[in-house]
Amino acid sequence: MAKLIEFKKTESELFEALSVIFFTVDQPSPAENKSSIKAEDLFQKYGKETKESQFKNTNCGFCGNRIGHNPRIFTLPEGSGADLVLDDKVFEYMESRFDKWQSIIDSKLKRPFEELKDRFAAAKTAKNLQDFDGIMSHLKTRDVLSPGAVLSPSADALSSKAVTAE
């Protein structure tokens, strides 16, 4: 089983917000470590680290009291999007990071936080996008119908299976 989270080439700020949400509270248990590494690999594959972001400083995701500098912020390269194809373990791990936040005090993060939670919820219920073959078919169809809207490397260039936590 697999899930797809898509980012259009105009959604670099949303991708940045996901990296902040993830890395601020990415403290895996030993059982979650492989999923954490695979998620981190996705940010490195599709994004590029940046020091310039509206999310550079945020309140602590755990206590909400301290202001922290986010050392790992990833944005999308200019003119690129991202198709995050995740196996269920990696998807569930990334989704679980939203629940680790005790409060969202930074007003710049409130709307992206909800948008991303909605995308993860939609990915769970997208019946035709629950396995790798369905996702690949969707990406090929999308890329053919909207060639200018290619989000990330074409479906043909993607690896033959989803990112897995094995």
Half-sphere exposure of 6 (CA within 13 A, CB side): 19
Task: Provide the residue ranges of all domains of the chain, joining segments of one domain with +.
Answer: 2-157
Q: What is the pLDDT of residue 118?
A: 95
pLDDT given at position 155: 42
- DSSP helix/strand/coil, 4: strand
pLDDT band for position 58 (50/70/90)? low
pLDDT digits (tens, 9 = 90+) for 127-141: 778 788 889 888 888
118-127, 129-138, 157-166: range with lowest mean pLDDT: 157-166
pLDDT mean across residues, the chain: 82
Tell me how far apart the alpha carbons of residues 125 and 12 are, in angstroms, rounded to a whole number. 24
**β-strand pairing of 82-87 with 74-75:** unpaired
pLDDT at 87: 92
